[in-house]
Amino acid sequence: MSEDLSGRRIAHYRIDGVLGRGGMSVTYRATDVRLGRKVALKVIGEHLAPDAEFRERFVDEARNTSAIDHANIVPLYDFDEVDGLLYIAMRLVDGQDLSGHIKEGPLTPARTLSLLAQVAEALDMLHGKGLVHLDVKPANVLVTQKEGVREHVYVADFGLTRRGATGHRTRTGDFLGSPTYAAPEHLRGEPVDGRTDQYALACMLFACLSGRPPFQGGVQEVIAGHLSNVVPALSHLVALPPAIDDVIRKGTSKDPAQRYANCAELINAARVALAGVAQGSAPAQLGPQSGSFPAQPPVSGPMPVQQGQYQGGYQQQLQDPVRLRPPNQVGVSAFTSSGKKERPAWFAPVIAAAVAIVVIIIVVVILSPGDEPARQPKTSSAPSLNIGDETTSNKPLPTSVPVRTSR
């Protein structure tokens, strides 16, 4: 886990406290001491700083965010590297993310349409620039009222945003993202475009009006739902006209070609379908399956925080985004559980190491020589002179004798 940098300085930013921790970064509440303004400072995790791939992704996030100028996208102020720490400084949004509002129960149709229309506008602008967000979810939609009377929305977290890419993968082939709102083509690693984000927006429409994501359960169940199952009929969970089921069904079609032309068209169709519904109150819940999020939280979402602390999109679970192996093919998914009990990841390396140690011991025993006979005490090899009864030992013989020549 990365060290808490609270109380330290990075460049001209004084770090005041932790806002949230993600899988590849920590976001702090900080103060720009030059301008005297509060910012959200996103710092790459120290354990990932040497990883070239994560550094590249972090830099991409800064570039993607800085290239976008829209009222509903979190503004980026600064990006740099100091003492090996990469950081992004962005606007500190004072409010709550959309997932926090949904946890309180279904939203009213009017509020849902107002919030998601802003998200749709931001996404369509992004798609017009050839970019795909690839991580559209309630936790990345920040809601604040400070800009005016109505609630204002900011789309955040562009760490997975790509241009003309296939479903995002690491170099080792892992899927990197949050599967709760992920489109089938994204999960399969197929080509993605603006309709991929539209699928996630349609899932968010379902969540806002029902208080729960379309598919629930463990990771495997959620992914199997997105790959193979039809989104449940919303009108069977809450008191809404069946026309909204058709809108969500089209927006979440498994075939991207069958979806709407853009995100705004999806929201406009939802507005027409909900035109006859009382806009001032949340839809009544129907049946035992309805209600807010279950006791077991969905795959993605914010971490619990202390009362009064911001709970927005900066606040992510440590395991988010989820690293998953892509499915082998449609209908035969690598995420499908089998009857066999999987061994832990450390099992194979430990067994291999134990076998290697045993082999080394056997080789040493086989190749070691047998018992050697006792060695005789070592005697000096130097010659000795015997003079009478006295023996002078260990005295070398002279190698030369001086000869005096006579004339």
What are the binding residues for ATP?
A: 42
Distance CA 210, CA 117 (A): 18
d(CA 181, CA 191): 17
DSSP assignment of 367-385: HS--PPPPPPPP---S--E
Distance, in Å, from the CA atom of 55 to the CA atom of 50, rounded to the nearest integer, reads 8
Q: Return the half-sphere exposure (C-beta side, CA atoms, 13 A cut-off) of residue 368.
A: 8
How far from each other are the two terminal CA atoms of the chain, in whole angstroms? 98
What is the C-alpha separation between 271 and 267, in angstroms, rounded? 6
97, 135, 197, 245: which is the annotated catalytic residue? Answer: 135
Cα 302 to chain centroid distance, Å, stands at: 13
The H or E element spanning position 322 is strand 322-324
Q: Which residues pair with 17 in a beta bridge?
A: 29
263-273 and 109-128 helices, crossing angle to 10°: 160
Binding site as annotated, residues: 42
135 is catalytic: yes
Give the whole-angstrom CA distance, residue 134 versus residue 184: 12
Q: How far is CA 192 from CA 18, 99, 130, 161, 183, in A?
A: 34, 25, 11, 11, 9
- Structural contact between residues 200 and 137, judged by C-beta atoms closer than 8 angstroms: yes
Q: Within a 10 A sphere around the Cβ of 257, how many other Cβ atoms?
A: 6
Catalytic residues: 135
